[in-house]
Amino acid sequence: MANIVRDLADSSSYWAAVWTICPLPDVHAICDAPIGCFNLVATAVPDYTDAIPHIENITPSVITEAEVGEGTAAAVKRTYENLRDEGYLEGKRLIVISTAESEMIGSDLADLVGQLGEGSTFFHSESLSDDEWLGRDRVLQWLWETYGAEPAAALQVEPGLVNIIGPTYGCFNSPSDLLEVKRLIEGAGGRVNLVFPFESRLAEIADLARGQVNVLLYKEFGHRLAPSLGQPWLHAPIGMRSTTHFIRQLGEWLGTSDQAAAFIRQEKASTLQAVWDLWKGPQGDWFPTTSIGLAGSRTYVEGLADYLGEELGMPIAFTAPRPRQPGDLDNIGVRSLLHAGAPSFVFGSINEKIYLSEAGARQTHYIPAAFPGPIVRRATGTPFMGYRGTVYVIQEIINRLYESLYTFLPLDSGYSQGGASTQPGNLPWTDEAKATLDEAVAKLPFLAQISASRELQMRVESEARARGEVEVSADLAAEILASRNGG
């Protein structure tokens, strides 16, 4: 069976390497790449994932036809010399990173880097076989082993210190999630030590050894590094129960259980009060009929399925976690599900958004929850993780339901058609025609059915009148309703 990809959701380990290494400000990277692999990873895409103009501490070797024929060593060496001569490398360590193309032409620069200034290293990114998640996992471990483990031998664990492993560039919504996880750690009685790699320097990687506990921000990577640090670790939480468990567990490990318990009590009376109020109010009544589709990182998909599905009781229409494991939906599967009938909400990437557009699913709300796709997520008030995340996510959902309700309210047609409609009331429908209408409406998300039923009815009747009919027949209804997606 041939392996076909539709709208790839996961990048490669080369991207992972650049996006993990370049946040370290005391590194300069050379990517052994054609111009495209440099531009996409360092400018064109991070413009729209991380909202940065470009990644500054990376330079390409610029593979051209000459390098494809003769190897890239000379180009990398020339790039190094130019960087050195121009002063780019002052106070920095050089890391050379392979790409799919340099691997394709068999360019292994492990020996060459020895000639490129003291301490220069080569990271073979395995870009032809590994995805971005494996790649991040491997490069974090490699950074620790290459730059951290040895000096770390002289360091002691300090009680109360907690490391956060992740994010890197290209991690959806990370500024908000990171801030919330820091808040939870402090609430539980801990102190944040290193945020690796996003707020770290290469020279201080050894400091990871001082952490008493490690928090993995994501389920997708960091699982090689965390155990090798020798201290207990846990995942960052999504949902009310998971967050409560996270705070309790941290308190237990840090010996601050009382403080953790007090923090949970205080949060229930403040931050989480919003979820309680919305549950008690009319908004909560919509939850059982608000169906949710989830595509994105495993962290987000499993976390939201747990919170929205298990805790709040919303029907989960499908889940498509990445990286995919055997049995998980791929994009081909997600696309055919959405074409057949979309849920009330889809959390996902631009891929799902495109599938909704193809399906004409205008009644479905799309909420960005994953890359790929251009989105600014630099405000720190939009977490999905932690207690604040539970409030933010439910607030987003309810506000979009309000938006639906608003668009359902009738607008006097006088404003759009240059004069109020003088059309008479309803036309009679045959039983078969009515059944056709019911069937079309039933395919739509629940809340949307109210307005859609009226809107479709009016459209069919208006066409019937235009054709001089005195009754709506099944054939006419079917014809008009079939053209629905074009409208």
Residues in the site for other proteins, rule: CB under 8 A? 2-8, 10-15, 34-41, 43-45, 47-48, 53-54, 59-60, 62-65, 67-68, 79, 82-83, 85-86, 88, 99-101, 104-105, 127-129, 131-132, 335, 350-351, 354-355, 357-358, 372-374
Residue with Cβ nearer other proteins (65 or 118): 65
Output the CA torsion 43→49→52→54 (10° steps). -10
Least separation in angstroms between residue 18's CB and other proteins is 10
Residue with Cβ nearer other proteins (54 or 378): 54
Backbone angles phi, psi at 410, to 5 degrees: -65, 140
Residue with Cβ nearer other proteins (39 or 395): 39
Q: Distance from CA of residue 366 to its chain's centroid?
A: 13
User: Among candidates 313, 336, 331, 312, which has minimal Cα distance to 321?
Assistant: 331
Residue with Cβ nearer other proteins (12 or 319): 12
List 335's β-bridge partners, or say none: none
Least separation in angstroms between residue 380's CB and other proteins is 18
Question: Residue 300 and residue 133: Cα distance in Å, rounded?
Answer: 14
Least separation in angstroms between residue 1's CB and other proteins is 8
Residue with Cβ nearer other proteins (103 or 207): 103
Residue with Cβ nearer other proteins (170 or 187): 170
Would you mind telling me the total number of residues written for the chain in this entry?
487
CB atoms within 10 A of CB 332: 12
Helix (H) or strand (E) holding 97: strand 93-97
Note whether 298 and 352 are within 8 A (CB).
no
Least separation in angstroms between residue 324's CB and other proteins is 12
Output the CA torsion 238→244→248→254 (10° steps). 40
Contact residues for 152 (Cβ-Cβ < 8 A; gap 6+): 206, 207, 208, 209
Nearest-Å Rg of the Cα atoms of the chain is 27
For residue 406, the SS3 value is helix
For residue 412, the SS3 value is coil
CB atoms within 10 A of CB 273: 12
Residue with Cβ nearer other proteins (54 or 454): 54
Least separation in angstroms between residue 346's CB and other proteins is 15
Least separation in angstroms between residue 297's CB and other proteins is 14
Output the CA torsion 437→439→444→447 (10° steps). 70
Least separation in angstroms between residue 198's CB and other proteins is 20
Least separation in angstroms between residue 48's CB and other proteins is 6
Question: Residue 293 and residue 285: Cα distance in Å, rounded?
Answer: 19
Q: Where are the alpha helices (DSSP H) in 107-219?
A: 132-143, 149-152, 174-187
Residue with Cβ nearer other proteins (353 or 459): 353
Edge to edge, the sheet with strand 345-348 lists 316-322, 292-297, 345-348, 365-368
Tokens of residue 447, six digits: 């809340």
Least separation in angstroms between residue 441's CB and other proteins is 24
Question: Residue 116 and residue 101: Cα distance in Å, rounded?
Answer: 22
CB atoms within 10 A of CB 473: 16
User: Among candidates 59, 263, 52, which has minimal Cα distance to 174?
Assistant: 52
Least separation in angstroms between residue 268's CB and other proteins is 39
Residue with Cβ nearer other proteins (101 or 180): 101
Secondary structure in 3-state letters for 335-367 = HHHHHHCCCCEEEECHHHHHHHHHHCCCCCEEE
Least separation in angstroms between residue 37's CB and other proteins is 7
Least separation in angstroms between residue 13's CB and other proteins is 8
Residue with Cβ nearer other proteins (48 or 446): 48
List 67's β-bridge partners, or say none: none
Residue with Cβ nearer other proteins (237 or 373): 373
Residue with Cβ nearer other proteins (79 or 290): 79
